[in-house]
């Protein structure tokens, strides 16, 4: 929706994503997070005929993705990551949460639109799990995380 310079967008999905293996057993797929939700709120302020000041914020949530666990003993023996294929997609990463915010200027010309903005990703600096990986140097399984708080300066031209 858009009214008086305010805009909002809400999305939500509830789902079950499974497959049946050649053994006839139903299992989760990697994408069976079971829910995803987004909420976006923003406000635009006209500063002149062609210039608009924009502010928005977005919240994203999702259940964790499913993964096949790493077989640590086999990984150590082989010297590389080996998955326990007897347990496909049997473990789930923690749920995902991220809060972003953006402030910027939009300048409209006859044939182009210029966007100049500061984008702040993951305001809460939440350590969302990206993956678990075998680390050969220490013979252990380590956690890899997605990016934490990330400010970004962006200039974009649309034509």
Q: Compute the mean pLDDT over every residue in the chain, rounded to the nearest whole number.
A: 95
Is residue 136's pLDDT more than 90? no
Q: What is the pLDDT of residues 53-75, one digit of tens each?
A: 999 999 999 999 999 999 999 99
Which residues are CB-neighbours of 28 under 8 A, at least 6 positions away? 17, 18, 66, 89, 90, 92
Is residue 28's pLDDT more than 80? yes
Distances (CA, A) of 69 to 18, 63, 72, 77: 17, 18, 9, 16
């Amino acid at each position: 929706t858009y009214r008086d310079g305010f805009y909002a967008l809400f999305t939500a999905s509830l789902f079950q994503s499974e497959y049946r293996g050649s053994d006839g057993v139903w299992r989760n797929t990697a994408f069976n997070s079971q829910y995803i939700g987004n909420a976006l709120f923003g406000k635009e302020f006209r500063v002149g005929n062609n210039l608009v000041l924009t502010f928005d914020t977005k919240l994203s949530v999702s259940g964790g993705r499913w993964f096949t666990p790493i077989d640590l003993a086999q990984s150590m023996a082989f010297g590389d990551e080996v998955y326990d294929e007897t347990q496909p997609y049997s473990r789930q990463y923690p749920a995902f949460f991220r809060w972003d915010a953006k402030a910027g200027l939009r300048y409209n010309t006859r044939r182009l639109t210029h966007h100049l903005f500061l984008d702040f990703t993951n305001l809460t600096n939440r350590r969302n799990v990206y993956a678990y990986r075998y680390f050969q140097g220490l013979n252990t399984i380590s956690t890899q995380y997605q990016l934490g708080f990330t400010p970004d300066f962006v200039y974009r031209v649309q034509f």
